[in-house]
């Protein structure tokens, strides 16, 4: 459950002393932020406290968040020359702090709770790195994909290598599973998903060493998640808009399903959350490999009691 920390008083206390990026870049603080939701809610798995844009920074495109939360890159990818500015050679070294955060969190978890690493997909990173933050509907990466395929592919080559490195660092540091967030996959026409996003995720997954399962999450999942199976992921994560009945129907029984409670429910009362949680569990009852999760991150305004109700309901469900 990403961003579960934001509802916790102990996380807010951390954030009073440190910026978000200080937490991300300081292994002991990142480990602490990773563990806080586990101590509070007892989830079966922890997801490392990090940010998908650490890969952009490791490639040489630094960024920061303004006080209002707005994302700001020092420069934006616009031209072919900008792609050449990216330095894919030192990503493993420069992301050492992510590995250290995982090692620290893993040591404290002591194998009792699974630890998940993650990265953004090449497609999703391309959008952020070209557009910056604050844009409601990113457009430039699609423009590049249609209008300058050679530069698009050169960029994705670099990103694919860097994302692979980012996940490998986390696997080498003890991640029990890794997740690829294709958070902007829903911006793509159905017929272009494979060329613009799917094949690059497939290459990332194929390039990983070590036997850890990979979870691929894509917003909208292009209907039912079938397109995500092609990436070779062991688990497909679907957002809250996707019909789990449809996903159950089309996904092979060997592929796990992660999701998909509407995050908006965490802003309602515990009874409403419990009822919807039971409904989702019932849809996938008897199917192996359901990872119960939200269909997206924890929203601002989520209520502690609502998350507690969710956890209690999942644990009791039989």
299 binds a copy of itself (CB under 8 A): yes
Q: Which of 28, 93, 143, 305 binds a copy of itself (CB under 8 A)?
A: 143
Q: Is the CB of 18 or the CB of 287 nearer to a copy of itself? A: 287
Q: Which of 41, 240, 312, 317 binds a copy of itself (CB under 8 A)?
A: 240
Find the helix packing angle between 140-147 and 122-131, rounded to 10°: 110
Q: Which of 64, 107, 139, 206 binds a copy of itself (CB under 8 A)?
A: 139
Residue 286 near residue 248, CB atoms below 8 Å: no
Q: Which of 15, 103, 186, 287 binds a copy of itself (CB under 8 A)?
A: 186
- What are the E-state strand segments in the chain? 45-47, 63-65, 71-73, 114-120, 177-182, 214-218, 235-238, 256-261, 290-294
Residue 43 near residue 311, CB atoms below 8 Å: yes
182 binds a copy of itself (CB under 8 A): no
Express the helix, strand and coil content of the chain in percent, nearest 5 each.
55, 15, 30
Distance CA 304, CA 309 (A): 9
Distance CA 75, CA 224 (A): 36
How many CB atoms neighbour CB 192 within 10 A?
A: 14
17 binds a copy of itself (CB under 8 A): no
Q: Is the CB of 28 or the CB of 245 nearer to a copy of itself? A: 245
263 binds a copy of itself (CB under 8 A): yes
Question: Residues in contact with a copy of itself, total (CB under 8 A)?
Answer: 36
Q: Which residues would be at the binding site for a copy of itself (CB under 8 A)?
A: 136-137, 139, 142-143, 146-147, 186-191, 220, 222-224, 240-243, 245-246, 262-265, 267-269, 272, 276, 295-296, 299, 301
């Amino acid at each position: 459950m990403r961003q579960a920390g934001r509802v916790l008083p102990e996380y807010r206390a951390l954030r009073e002393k440190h910026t978000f990026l200080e937490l991300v870049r300081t292994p002991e603080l990142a480990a602490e932020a990773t563990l806080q939701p586990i101590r509070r809610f007892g989830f079966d798995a922890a997801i490392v406290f990090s940010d998908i844009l650490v890969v952009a920074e490791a490639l040489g495109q630094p960024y920061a968040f303004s006080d209002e939360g707005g994302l700001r890159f020092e420069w934006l990818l616009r031209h072919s020359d900008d792609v050449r500015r990216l330095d894919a050679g030192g990503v493993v070294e420069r992301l050492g702090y992510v590995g250290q955060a995982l090692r620290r969190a893993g040591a404290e978890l002591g194998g009792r709770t699974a630890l998940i690493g993650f990265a953004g997909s090449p497609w999703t990173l391309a959008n952020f790195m070209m557009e910056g933050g604050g844009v409601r509907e990113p457009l430039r990466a699609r423009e590049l994909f249609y209008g300058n395929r050679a530069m698009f592919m050169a960029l994705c080559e670099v990103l694919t290598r860097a994302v692979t490195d980012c996940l490998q660092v986390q696997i080498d540091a003890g991640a029990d599973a890794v997740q690829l967030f294709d958070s902007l996959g829903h911006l793509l026409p159905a017929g272009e998903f494979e060329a613009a996003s799917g094949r690059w995720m497939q290459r990332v997954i194929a390039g990983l060493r070590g036997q850890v399962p990979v979870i691929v999450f894509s917003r909208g999942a292009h209907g039912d998640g079938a397109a995500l199976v092609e990436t070779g992921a062991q688990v497909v994560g679907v957002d809250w808009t996707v019909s789990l009945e449809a996903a159950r129907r089309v996904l092979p029984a060997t592929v796990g399903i992660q999701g998909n409670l509407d995050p908006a429910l965490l802003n309602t009362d515990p009874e409403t959350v419990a009822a919807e949680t039971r409904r989702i569990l019932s849809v996938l009852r008897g199917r192996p490999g359901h990872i119960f999760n939200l269909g997206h991150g924890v929203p601002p305004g989520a209520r502690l009691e609502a998350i507690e109700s969710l956890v209690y309901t999942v644990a009791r469900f039989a």
